Chain A
């Protein structure tokens, strides 16, 4: 009798609750087998990852609401005065433009006519050779030599080879401090030595876009008052987190500053935000500098027992390499984990990758992925 009932019982449909449970189990099983895509973590860009300080945004908004129908200050007088005061130069020695990159290009256009030679400390800021070429210059990459100082993170970044390579065709020498991508700063005295060694006929273009991450007194902007062939470029895109405003300034001799000033000035909101940052933004910059340092130390500590390492750096990124893996392998490994970094191949270097530091959550994810690599 039981067999008879069992035969019919197997044709009883499942109640809805049972069906739902079965479907949920099946769904969970399917989802467990699916590849889960986490959000992409972009560690390839060097612009600060957070928005600007709210007061900088307020200043920009106020300027926009008040003066939307008027042209901005053509001379960007307030920004120039504040920048001049900060670096101990005259306001006439400051030109405010649409970002350091634009000003660098203007400088190249002014200096490199007739295929003038631009020596670029290499590895250096990636787009610079192309910018020089675009305005008719001839960029020449000069690999730096690794000195003992550089190994400690306070190196020259190859001042010697640059000075030696400078010839009759050389019109300018470009270098960045801290260096992008290695993060090594150029010592103030090395800048002075280079300027003096190459003489007044060669301009030294010092890109200090990341100099806000240096401790006060380490940057070389103040040398502009003493050296007639030095141009120092500053931006608000990095530590000031204002890349979207497209504003920067250059410090140099007054006649050159006037030449580099854009024909039509930087817009009013950008000027207002930049003025606020120069006047009141030091505390914010100090916090960001400390945050970058904290994440750098955490990363170094987490990688100490792996094959991965990076030289000491002042910048908010590290120039990472491995004894066991090439730069491309590191980049691909991180890419599979949705972490985007700048492969060293961009600078012709197969061993390194440039990894930007963000917040602690990003460092945790980066460390987890790098430790898998070993």
Chain B
């Protein structure tokens, strides 16, 4: 039998790729009843939905909110630079906090999916982040180019 545990191979992965090993539990989990697993499936879907919304917020609502905060700073202090700086720092900070939250939501989603009876090895965060970025980019382009129209310098004469 091939020995492919890193403890046996001096840290090398032989015979399988990293991340494809079965999930190791502290003890064999006790599965819930079928009814409970159905509920878990719904809970997992809800958590996934929240995760998607949280990720989407990074590409629209959060920057908009911080731009509004930046404009208020500009109005109150009369300094455009201060407004831009505050808006930029706020965007970065809220992005970090959102990622922390999303990672936790993803972990919860994995656990609930396993409780629902799925062999869930990987989380969905990376894919959600990528898809929401694409969706947000398309939505922004549609809003910018179609709904609002380009800036006067770009508008057709």
Contacts and interface: CB of A to CB of B under 8 A. Distances in A.
Given A13-B24, A14-B24, A22-B24, A7 B115 contact: yes
A232 to B, nearest CB: 59
A19 interface: yes
B2 to A, nearest CB: 15
Contacts of A24: 7
B64 to A, nearest CB: 35
A18 B26 CA distance: 9
A13 B22 CA distance: 10
A27 interface: yes
Given A19-B24, A22-B24, A10 B7 contact: no
Interface stretch (B27-35, B55-63, B69-77): B27-35
Given A8-B111, A8-B112, A14 B25 contact: yes
Contacts of B114: 11
A22 B22 CA distance: 14
A20 B24 contact: no
B29 A10 contact: yes
A11 B29 contact: yes
B111 A23 contact: no
Nearest to A24: B7
Size bin of chain B's contact surface: 10 to 19
B25 A11 contact: yes
A11 B8 CA distance: 26
B26 A10 contact: yes
B10 interface: no
A266 B113 CA distance: 84
B8 A12 contact: no
B111 A11 contact: yes
A12 B27 CA distance: 10
Interface string A1-44: 00000011111111000111011100100000000000000000
Contact of B8 (A8, A22, A27): A27
Interface string B115-131: 10000000000000000
A9 B111 CA distance: 8
Given A8-B111, A8-B112, A8-B115, A13 B23 contact: yes
Interface string B2-39: 00011110000000000000011111011010000000
A20 B7 contact: yes
Contacts of A19: 24
B111 A12 contact: yes
A9 B108 CA distance: 10
B32 A7 contact: yes
Contact of B115 (A11, A14, A18): A11
Interface string A232-246: 000000000000000
Contacts of A22: 24
A19 B114 CA distance: 18
A73 to B, nearest CB: 56
B22 to A, nearest CB: 9
A13 to B, nearest CB: 5
Nearest to B115: A11
Interface of B: 5-8, 23-27, 29-30, 32, 111-112, 114-115
Given A14-B26, A27-B5, A27-B8, 20 more contacts: A7-B30, A8-B112, A8-B115, A9-B111, A10-B26, A10-B27, A10-B29, A11-B111, A11-B112, A11-B114, A11-B115, A12-B25, A12-B26, A12-B111, A14-B24, A14-B25, A18-B24, A18-B26, A19-B24, A20-B7
Interface of A: 7-14, 18-20, 22-24, 27
- The 7 lowest CB-CB distance pairs between A and B, nearest first, are A11-B114, A10-B29, A14-B24, A13-B23, A11-B111, A23-B7, A19-B24
